[in-house]
Amino acid sequence: MPITDLLERNSKLYGEEVALVEINPQIREEQRVTWKEYELIQPTSPSFYRRSITWAVFDEKANRVANMLIEKGIRPGQKCAVLLMNCLEWLPIYFGILKSGAIAVPLNFRFTAEEIDYCLKASDADVLFYGPEFIGRIEDIANKIKKNTLLIYVGDQCPSYAEDYFRLSSYASSVAPRILIEDKNEAAIYFSSGTTGFPKPILLLHEALSQSAQMEAIHHETTKKDNFLCIPPLYHTGAKMHWFGSLYTGSKAVILKGNSPENILSAVSNEECTIVWLLVPWAQDILAALDSGKLKKEDYRLDQWRLMHIGAQPVPPSLIKRWLEYFPNHKYDTNYGLSESTGPGCVHLGMENIHKVGAIGVPGYNWKTKIIDEKGDKVKPGEVGELCVKGKGVMVEYYKNPEATAEVLKNGWLHTGDMARQDEDGFIYLVDRKKDVIISGGENLYPVQIESFLAAHSKIHDVAVIGLPDKRLGEIAAAIIQVKEGMTLTEDEVNEFCKDLPRYKRPRKLIFADVIRNATGKIDKPKLRHSYSTDRLVEQQYNS
């Protein structure tokens, strides 16, 4: 079943029920409005604290987007990129793209102008939907991209070089377009990368998206009565594929713009949320706020909250132990996955297996796993090898990159690049990553990009960037800097130089030392990690 069929089914069965709620804590709470009321307001009106749409309106909005694209000449198989912060428009636009037969291309809202330009070209994007937060970045590249890409602005005061989303969609038909969509049709391109430069485009089918929706509902026993709180960005496969559980069951979901402990607990309380997916830093922040007395559990209505689950980075067992002290009735799950496997769930702990916290779990619904050695043979239980996964969620390819695809896709098996072991009960534990990607607060940092930037400093002779364990973020980027002979360099100078980097890419730790390289001239990152990340440090960070 194509993923779009689920939306149309929900519109027919649950049309007048609320599908999505947007909460914006930056706006005063008394400014509340439903989507029907919002429809009567001009697009230039101010934002509101709370907006909502029903399943019927959700489907209608998606139809308008689809017909708008068709009227603009977009045909099945063409690519439409989405560059938006989380908002109520995000998912109707995404599903409108799919309903037109086009391929949706979500973009990371942290991308620089250069990265946006690269990703539009790499995915062959014909359309870009973007919001007001990105005006500056798009203006920097508008002259280059508007020749081949239709720019559609989703916000107030549309720039002269773009077209107005609200105006275009308001004139488009709300009737579903007659476009045949099947399971084997291409549906989406998501971006991911290793350590060697810009992200790679990952092509997924409709059946992969539908599989993830069914799997999410089964893994977390989602029912029509549940209410999922969505906090992470919707461009990420994690956030969207977890929300797919709500789509599959026709249940309500809340999109929260802001991740402070107070905002999270208030949303859970006020909206009666039952399922919340957190990143490690957010869970740590909630615990810290409760420990300090800044927040008090009794000030919130939390009894209906039944499940807290975490993904995107290793989870310290000590965190879950502390969490259960505050929330003893919570069920818990850990989800493992990659964008190449349509996001989380190809391996998951399982709500019934909290005694195995520390493991990433067992094969997910309709997934197979194996751990292999360098020859491709399965290793014995307890031995370390590369984790491979197989299922309908495996990507088609790295778009237009057969060489990179062949490196990770072999006989239907996705080679994850993650080193793992399996215990006697069949539970899988991650040991290390072949890839040098640093996962900090759930975001991937690519060391080569940071190294290339720092190498441009006139006083730096050599530089290596590695991940070091961090109690709150999981990992932080640390830069080992080898200063040119006869020169001196201070942390303040480096930090000032790094202001031209996006904040999330700036190294959080600076180490002035020689950069270790191996016989072939490559940076020896395993040795560097061993030198600066001792077992004592890991134990102190994770178990304190």
pLDDT (tens digit per residue) in 212-223: 999 999 999 999
18-27, 141-150, 513-522: least confident range: 513-522
Residue 539 has pLDDT above 50, yes or no: no
Quote the CA–CA distance of 261 and 267 in Å, as a whole number. Answer: 10
Structure tokens at 418: 């993650």
**How confident is the model at residue 533, as a pLDDT?**
75
Nearest to 58 by CA among 104, 102, 6: 6
Structure tokens at 479: 């830069």
User: What are the structural domain ranges in the chain?
Assistant: 3-258, 307-433, 438-543
Quote the CA–CA distance of 200 and 202 in Å, as a whole number. Answer: 6
* Contact between residue 245 and residue 335 where contact means Cβ atoms under 8 Å apart: no
Quote the CA–CA distance of 203 and 188 in Å, as a whole number. Answer: 6
Q: What share of the chain is helix, strand, coil (3-state, %, to 5)?
A: 35, 25, 40
**Segment 462-510, tens digit of pLDDT:** 888 999 988 888 899 999 999 987 889 999 999 999 998 988 899 999 9
The model carries a pTM of: 0.81
Number of helices and strands in the chain (H, E):
17, 27
**Segment 231-270, tens digit of pLDDT:** 999 998 888 999 999 999 999 999 999 889 999 999 999 9
Tell me how many degrees the CA angle 4-8-14 measures, rounded to the nearest 5.
135
Residue 432 has pLDDT above 80, yes or no: no
The mean pLDDT of the chain is 89
pLDDT band at 190 (very low <50, low <70, confident <90, very high): very high
Q: Dihedral, CA atoms, 416, 422, 428, 432, nearest 10 degrees?
A: -50
- DSSP conformation class of 32: B
**How confident is the model at residue 31, as a pLDDT?**
54
CATH of domain 3-258: 3.40.50.12780
**Segment 278-290, tens digit of pLDDT:** 987 788 889 989 9
Quote the CA–CA distance of 234 and 232 in Å, as a whole number. Answer: 6
Nearest to 263 by CA among 237, 238, 289: 289
Quote the CA–CA distance of 176 and 483 in Å, as a whole number. Answer: 62
**445 or 519: which leads in pLDDT:** 445
Portion of the chain with pLDDT greater than 90, in percent:
68
Distance between first and last Cα of the chain = 47
**Segment 28-72, tens digit of pLDDT:** 655 555 444 444 443 434 456 889 999 999 999 999 999 999 999
**How confident is the model at residue 54, as a pLDDT?**
97
**How confident is the model at residue 41, as a pLDDT?**
44
Q: Give the list of residues 6+ apart from residue 129 with CB closer than 8 angstroms, or none.
A: 80, 81, 82, 83, 84, 93, 152, 154, 165
* Contact between residue 7 and residue 95 where contact means Cβ atoms under 8 Å apart: yes
Average pLDDT over residues 135-150: 94
**How confident is the model at residue 283, as a pLDDT?**
87
CATH top class, domain 438-543: alpha beta
3-258 and 307-433 share one fold: no
CATH of domain 307-433: 2.30.38.10
pLDDT band at 447 (very low <50, low <70, confident <90, very high): confident
